[in-house]
Amino acid sequence: MDVLKKVPVKEQNPKVRATNFDEVCYGYNFDEAKQEASRCLQCKNPKCVAGCPVSINIPGFIKEIGNGNMEAAFQEISKYSALPAVCGRVCPQETQCEQRCIRGIKGEPVSIGKLERFAADWARENKIEPKKPHATNGRKVAVIGAGPSGLTCAGDLAKLGYEVTIFEALHEPGGVLVYGIPEFRLPKNTVVKAEIENVKALGVKIETNVIIGKSITIDELIEEEGFEAVFIGSGAGLPKFMGIPGENANGVFSANEYLTRSNLMKAFDDSYDTPIIAGRKVAVVGGGNVAMDAARTALRLGADVTIVYRRSEAELPARAEEVHHAKEEGIKLQTLTNPKEILVNENGWVCGMRCVKMELGEPDETGRKKPIEKKGSEFVLEADTVIMALGT
């Protein structure tokens, strides 16, 4: 075993997975997880913990995996995180915990995310639940929104003994976990539902189809229902558009709508009748994880897909793993390119996108090099569908 390199993780063949919505990454098995865990240096001052948004005791749970104590590993993670199987799959570990891993100085960092996923998956498969709080304190808290923020808040409060009720506007809890992230990255029926059940097992109640402000107000929650505090975790809000000509044409979608149709409303499944326009040639504008999700969804629905991004590939904000998977599956990257106009035919449908080439100038307020238009570089990108995935 080369301790400088990660234990490889098995994945679906790119040509096969490009035609289905099954999970791409298979994750570690028992022996692979123990082998990868043995790479951890068990630092006395673990910088990886400082890189974790919820400060999981990373060396602690990895040590338990290395010793074969999988239930102990899961319970250690569960002290800090209500959604370990989700976070093990979709957190940007390469810019957080793994970026700070000391092993990464002279080799590849420990696969912290894959080990977190393994521990959580093992617990689910062996029907292990997080430890319940010993007693309640009798105090009630309302949480608005059953997305990752609301579920995490509710789980943490329940562990402290609070009586928590989540109010969710949609018919299904999960928020972006069910409507935004595709099945091939985050399975809903196995992974997401199990994580939500673990939160409920802590004593959290979830009420769906409740729109705060219409079904009930915050004042009513406090004054009539007896809640002492309200946490608002209602999501990121409305999608963004560029404000260029042609955005109102038929065949232009926000990534939010496109992914919601496919994920929450199951448009990818032939047994559902949710309408979705797959498109023949799809242009996805943006470079984040949502852009990758939309592009890879469109590909699986049969489209030829191009991602259009105004900076270079090095500046893509998406997870490195998502970019790698997209390119493996045959999605094209049109970088240093910015849309100027969506072209519309006589029937009101998208028939192309006029773009301009860009070059990178001085850094802007974000620290990234500012893209600048190159004069005389305009061209038309063939497209019959445009998906806007901006700022997400």
Contact of 55 with 98, CB cutoff 8 Å = no
What's the whole-model pTM score? 0.91
Domain check: are 175 and 272 in the same one? no
The pair of three-digit structure tokens given for residue 95, joined into one six-digit string: 């810019």
At 369 the three-state DSSP class reads strand
Report whether pLDDT(90) > 80: yes
Which run of H or of E encompasses 185? none
- Domain containing residue 72: CATH number: 1.10.1060.10
Residue 388: strand pairing partners: 254, 285
Average pLDDT, stretch 348-376? 93
Domain check: are 314 and 345 in the same one? yes
Domain finish residue from 64, 95, 125: 125
Residue 70's contacts (CB-CB under 8 Å, 6 or more residues apart) are 30, 64, 119, 122, 123, 126
For residue 283, being part of any structural domain is answered with yes
E strands, the chain, are 140-144, 163-167, 205-207, 229-232, 252-254, 281-285, 304-308, 332-334, 337-344, 350-363, 369-373, 379-381, 385-388
For residue 135, being part of any structural domain is answered with no
> By CB neighbour count within 10 A (0-12 exposed, 13-18 middle, 19+ buried), where does 368 fall?
middle
Domain check: are 223 and 269 in the same one? no
pLDDT tens, residue by residue, 210-220: 999 999 999 99
The pLDDT assigned to 367 comes to 84
Domain check: are 146 and 265 in the same one? no
Domain check: are 150 and 180 in the same one? yes
Following DSSP, what letter does each residue of 80-137 receive, concatenated?
T-S-HHHHHHHS-GGGTTGGG-GGGGSSPPP-HHHHHHHHHHHHHHTT--PPPPS---
Report whether pLDDT(392) > 60: no
Asked which of 93-107, 244-258, 362-376 is least confident by mean pLDDT, the reply is: 362-376
Domain check: are 320 and 197 in the same one? no
The pLDDT assigned to 333 comes to 98
Domain check: are 289 and 357 in the same one? yes
pLDDT tens, residue by residue, 159-179: 999 999 999 999 999 999 998
The pLDDT assigned to 368 comes to 83
- How far is it, in rounded angstroms, from Cα 43 to Cα 107? 16
Average pLDDT, stretch 318-341? 97
Domain check: are 176 and 108 in the same one? no
The pLDDT assigned to 267 comes to 61
- With cut-offs at 50, 70 and 90, classify the pLDDT of residue 366: confident
- With cut-offs at 50, 70 and 90, classify the pLDDT of residue 139: very high
Asked which of 172-181, 190-199, 362-371, 378-387 is least confident by mean pLDDT, the reply is: 362-371
For residue 54, being part of any structural domain is answered with yes
Domain check: are 110 and 169 in the same one? no
Residue whose entry in the numeric block shows the structure tokens 């009798």? 138
- How far is it, in rounded angstroms, from Cα 256 to Cα 97? 28
pLDDT tens, residue by residue, 279-313: 899 999 999 999 999 999 999 999 999 999 999 99
Which is nearest to 392 in space by CA: 241, 169, 172? 241
Domain check: are 152 and 117 in the same one? no
The pair of three-digit structure tokens given for residue 280, joined into one six-digit string: 């023949």
For residue 8, being part of any structural domain is answered with no
For residue 148, being part of any structural domain is answered with yes
The pLDDT assigned to 268 comes to 64
For residue 218, being part of any structural domain is answered with yes
In total, how many domains does the chain have?
A: 3
Domain finish residue from 175, 204, 232: 232
For residue 132, being part of any structural domain is answered with no
- How far is it, in rounded angstroms, from Cα 238 to Cα 45? 41
Domain finish residue from 97, 125, 153: 125
The pLDDT assigned to 1 comes to 77
- Domain containing residue 185: CATH number: 3.50.50.60
| φ, ψ at 360 (rounded to 5°) | -90, 130
| CA-to-CA separations, 131 to 63, 116, 137, 279, in angstroms, rounded | 20, 17, 17, 47
* Domain interval for residue 219: 140-232
Domain check: are 75 and 117 in the same one? yes
Tell me how far apart the 2 most distant CA atoms of the chain are, in Å: 70
Domain check: are 187 and 293 in the same one? no
For residue 306, being part of any structural domain is answered with yes
